Structure 1
Amino acid sequence: MFRVIPAHQLPPRLEVSWLWEGMVAQGTLALLGGPGGVGKSTLVAALEVAVAAGVPFLEREVAQGEVLHVDYDTDPRLQGPWYPKVAAGLGVNGEALGRIRYLEPQEATKGLGEEGLKALLEMARQGPALIVIDSWSAAFPFVDSRRSDHVAEVMSYLKEIAKAGPAVLLLDHTPKPVQGLTALERGVAGSFYKLAGARSAFLLTRVPPKLTGGRDVLKLDALKNNLAPLMDPLGIERVWGPDTLEFALTDLPEEEARPSKLEQAKRAVLEVLEEGPKPRKEVIRLVAERVNAGERTTEEALRALVKAGAVERLALGGQGGAVAYRLAGLPQTPLRDGAALRKTDFADEDGQKFSANPLAEDQDFAENPGGEAPPGLEGPEVEI
């Protein structure tokens, strides 16, 4: 049942095979999120060309190899023109573009289901260095990104594909804009469960031109990196020419260089509440564990999120005026135990857990991790 290994025989250090040095490792699942139209397609096209040519990108070494681009979000007429532009910006000739395979789904509206995932796994076994999937919402329209069991199941399939060898880079969007919250504070849609399944995760946003003197500057924040130190935000300038697009590192304005503790606390609160409604004390404890924010900072974050309409405050009743918080606008089910905010399973009438597609029982993929999802709270105030 177990293979016993003496501690002195264990590997003394973690050896990482990087696809993109310090950012994305081979054989792992990575996530890149950002608002629509921010520039994810151009940045990823440049990374793909750098991998195909084996040239550094943004002053970091890149492993050379074949690239697969699985596109459910756009079409060849929109994606195609970026490749020659970024290739020219990188000083790469057209030969490298022949090592990039663009996969256009025949029935894109149905999403990446059983047949597509099986085909992708077989392709992964042929040795590509990078697989890009664009994007979560378009590839998996049948998945509720707020449900832990839904998201965990799909992420487990994608990790199995990555285990075949390539880095798998999943593109995603941020939640809809909320007044008073930045894109960084909103994070990635369903971010807690997606982040849990990814080895590394990044968020791309645009720096306001008024802060850059009109230059086109993007900011890349590292939300997670299990295999390297978490880097400070990167400033990336896009330099446009008639037939070229170049990317270069640049200094960020002071306002953008590092997220404040309050910004980190806001995002942590939203991630914590994606697990379900939580009592105030538990929210404060979990946020402190994630971003080392003090109680006063977390309270300020909660007030700002409630004012912005992103979070709801609920009175639990009883002695001491206990309160809880939940994400606003989520489907609600009756609260069975307000004091403990006890979790419950979601299931259909026959008691079957959700399975995103029939691959849940396919031995080529990981076992369906299932999961528990917490209930909502009934009404704006609940008295127990």
Structure 2
Amino acid sequence: MTTSADGDGVRHAAESLRAANDALPDIAGRVDDRIRGVVERAAADIERAAHAVQGSVRGELLESAHEIRLIGTRMTAAREDAFSEVAHVLTGYADEIAALLRATGSGSGVRLTDISVDPLPEPPPSTVTSAQETAVIAQNVPDADAHRRAIDAVVACCPVEYQPLMRDLLTGQSAHAIERHGHHLTPVQMVARLQWLLDPASVDGWRLNADGSADSWRQRRRGTHQVGTSSGYYTSPEAFAKPFLALLRAAGLNRAELDTYLDSKAAGETIIKVFLRTSDTGVTAQDVYTQRAPGTDTRDGKKMWKRARRGAMAGHGEMPGVREHDMVKRGKRPGSLIVLAKGQDESWRLITSYFADDPHRVDYMEL
């Protein structure tokens, strides 16, 4: 015999599962904070010893410090995979329970032993490349003609009434959306960009040094080529055009209408970032290719991976791994970001456009 209390218990179980899942990000942050603390203290001690000596011993100590940081990135990657599996099971059971509750009304007669959740697919293998491999890739990045052909393909797939404005945006002097996120790029170029900071647009510089280290520098500003812990591109001209067409349909057909629309949204600012959800654009998992550093779903995981990347660039050891990532399906809040800027008494000009996940570190507007 089953009672309403049975249904209440089942409903409470579903709520508890969702609450446990909601707590996972905070737990992950605390775990990675501890990992990074232990790793950085150990690596820093070794680096202090290295700076007190010279020659091969110094190099060996710096390599040891780098290896410790690599171990840290593997630990956070394993933690992220484990937490992803836990989240999959928690939400899977909660969804199944909710479906049974809807089917039975009260939840009476529901047996949790009748519920099963398929396991999460194995994560894709990690990729680690060398500076020497990247030097070869650097010789084969797209040239200006290839970028121009890619722009032509995007413009051609747009409705004819939007083509003049699309071409105007994509060919502007400050625009590098196609050059760094266009459909003509390749997975190996994304790995080279993410791991070794090789600019596929060939704007920022890159060099392999005789000692095995590599340098990256920005052409117009200080610092290295800018890329975080993921890098990707749109897989077709149609996919690349989707967020732009969504924006232009909201704003207008010509430059004057676009300027008026953006002025009304910018509130006096000279840079505007437009975030378009997949529901706004129709972008699917097949429209985007992404390489991502595993274990970087937390602040400390990101910092540790980037620090290990700097060590590899300095020639202290191998690069931390990256792997393919379905940002549309697995992202927290995936969408397309379009960045535009304007000077005084000027029209808005395109800076870049790319697919991003949960861009909480930037101020942006939505349609």
Q: TM-score, normalised by structure 2?
A: 0.22
Question: Which one has the largest radius of gyration?
Answer: 2
The structure richer in helix per residue is 2
Greater relative contact order (Cα < 8 A, sep 6+): 2
TM-score calculated relative to the size of structure 1: 0.21
Greater percentage in strand: 1
